[in-house]
A and B are shown apart, each in its own frame.
Chain A
Amino acid sequence: MALTRYELRLLGGLGLATPALALLLFGGMALLMGFLGANGAQVARVLVAALELGLPLAAGVVAATVAADDPAVDLQLALKTRYRGTLARRLVVLALWTALIAFLWTSALHTTGLWELWVPEPFFAGQLVWLSPLLWFVAAGALLSLTLGRTTGGAILGGLWAFENLFRGSFLTEEWLRPEFLFATTYAAGADFWLTNRLALISTALLMGVVVWALSSRTESFARGGEA
């Protein structure tokens, strides 16, 4: 528990606020659309998109930063606790914090009746709207950061996000691309492949998690200081 508290402090106010800010930005946009005459479904779509487009990217970028940004990582070469344990704890704390915010957001949407306007799945199965892309982005952020560095990792993650958004048509029509489409709820709510897509994303995230686990055992490779 003390370690969790320490990790939360290490993430800092900004690290904790970034996923929440993502939701607030989408929320502000939805509010503006409401004023401009958008219908309920259009507003609901943006509020749900906050969970699928905004929150996971924010958590992924933070994960890319925390995975390779520990100035005291050299110390772990001399300690009994291995870096992979520290990194796993760090990513779990980030994911849990983001999940908590996401659950509160979905509950608020459910209470106000907006959730059902865009998400046809039952409420609890509907949590996969955010859970699948969240796990995918956190794992991908950590993996890219450990293999290519913090800056490159953040940039490629952002590039992938923009790429899937822009070429959503290909991701929806090409069957082999569908399992890895990160935004199936926003662009194809109610599609018959939705659940398969969500489970495939979680499987990919777990696979990336295993690679992160294996890579993070090489503490000495991070202890060189990385790119300043």
Chain B
Amino acid sequence: MRKETPFALGGALLYEFKMQVRRKALWITFLVFSLALLNLTFRPWSPESEGLLVPHLVANWSLTVQFFHPVAFGILLADRLPRDRRTKVEELLDTLPASLGSRLLGKYLGATLATLVPLLLIYAAGIIYIAVSRGDLSAIPLALASFATINLPGLLFVAAFSISCTAVLWVPLYQFLFVGYWFWGNLIPTSPTGGNMMPTLSHTILTPFGEYMANGFFGTEQATARATVWEGIASMSLLLSLGALALYGSYRLLVWQRDRR
């Protein structure tokens, strides 16, 4: 590791965070996507949620937030890497002492953290509602655990692929593939009785929607999958490992592309 790496990583992280969090697109997109929450059954203020225990309610809210928002999350991150080429700073950045690896990691962490900000605000609003309406402050630590285990692994997975895939894919093509993937790989029913014979990753351990963790750790019945704690841990580990692999793959690719120039 080169000497300047921690500073380069911190610098890239900070600037990527600031650039992303100040984008109007970030806030407008999440605001529009939040309208979908009004139509989802298991929001904390719906009649279906009345008899539920607080841990189930919190896990359901995590799943509700994880329904559509990752689509916005992935698309908003997808243009971060091509942006360096678009604004023609890529070669300039390559001449700096900061290594490509720390810049890529800084970009991933900074942009992902910034994109998490509106999502966390939406999530926190629901949790405050749960805590106040039930008069139970245990909802807050539960919410931290729920977000960290149900939402975060899937979001880090989505972020890693959105940053990595656009090293080779045209951004609109990635957007199309990603939206299709999110529906196909997370939300479509798998029951053949519904006339669906389509093979899908939906309701499997590879689902970034987070239902294995929701059922395995919190026991919520809203998740279609029925999982044990160990299956929840396996799903979480798999999502995080695949995300790390995607990032490493894009790093090797970017090094190869740079060396060919």
Q: Which residues of A contact B (CB under 8 A)?
A: 14-15, 18, 21-22, 25, 29, 32-33, 36-39, 42, 46, 54, 57-58, 61-62, 64-65, 148-149, 151-152, 154-156, 158-159, 161-163, 165-167, 170, 227-228
Contacts A148-B28, A159-B33 given; indicate if A18 touches B183 (C-beta within 8 A). no
Partner of B25, one of A38, A151, A165: A151
Stretch at the interface among B3-11, B153-161, B194-202: B194-202
A161 / chain B contacts, CB cutoff of 8 Å? 179, 183
Query: Chain B: which residue is nearest A162 at the CB level?
Result: B183
A37 / chain B contacts, CB cutoff of 8 Å? 197
CB-defined A-B contacts under 8 Å, sample of 21: A14-B172, A18-B170, A22-B180, A32-B199, A33-B198, A54-B180, A57-B180, A58-B176, A61-B172, A149-B28, A151-B75, A152-B25, A154-B75, A154-B172, A154-B175, A155-B75, A155-B175, A156-B29, A158-B175, A162-B182, A228-B83
Contacts A148-B25, A227-B25, A228-B86 given; indicate if A159 touches B183 (C-beta within 8 A). no
Is A166 a contact of B183 with CB atoms below 8 Å? yes
B198 / chain A contacts, CB cutoff of 8 Å? 29, 33, 46
The binding surface of chain A is classed by DSSP as helix
Number of A-B contacts (CB under 8 A): 106
Is A65 a contact of B172 with CB atoms below 8 Å? yes
Partner of B179, one of A14, A65, A151, A158: A158
Query: Chain B: which residue is nearest A154 at the CB level?
Result: B175
Q: Does B253 contact A (CB under 8 A)?
A: no
Bound Cα distance A205, B183 (Å): 24
Is B199 a contact of A36 with CB atoms below 8 Å? yes
A-B pairs with the 6 shortest C-beta distances?
A: A158-B179, A38-B197, A155-B75, A14-B170, A152-B25, A65-B172
Size class of B's contact patch? 35 or more
Q: Which residues of B contact A (CB under 8 A)?
A: 23-25, 28-29, 32-33, 36, 39, 67-68, 71-72, 75-76, 79, 83, 86-87, 170-173, 175-176, 178-180, 182-183, 187, 195, 197-199
Q: A57-B180, A152-B24, A159-B71 are in contact. List 6 more A-B contacts (CB 8 A).
A: A33-B199, A159-B68, A162-B71, A162-B187, A228-B83, A228-B86
Is B36 a contact of A155 with CB atoms below 8 Å? no
Contacts A37-B197, A151-B79, A167-B39 given; indicate if A159 touches B72 (C-beta within 8 A). yes
A166 / chain B contacts, CB cutoff of 8 Å? 67, 183, 187
A32 / chain B contacts, CB cutoff of 8 Å? 199
A61 / chain B contacts, CB cutoff of 8 Å? 172, 175-176, 179
B68 / chain A contacts, CB cutoff of 8 Å? 159, 162-163
Q: How far is the CB of A73 from chain B (nearest CB, A)?
A: 15
Is B180 a contact of A25 with CB atoms below 8 Å? yes
Is B29 a contact of A151 with CB atoms below 8 Å? yes
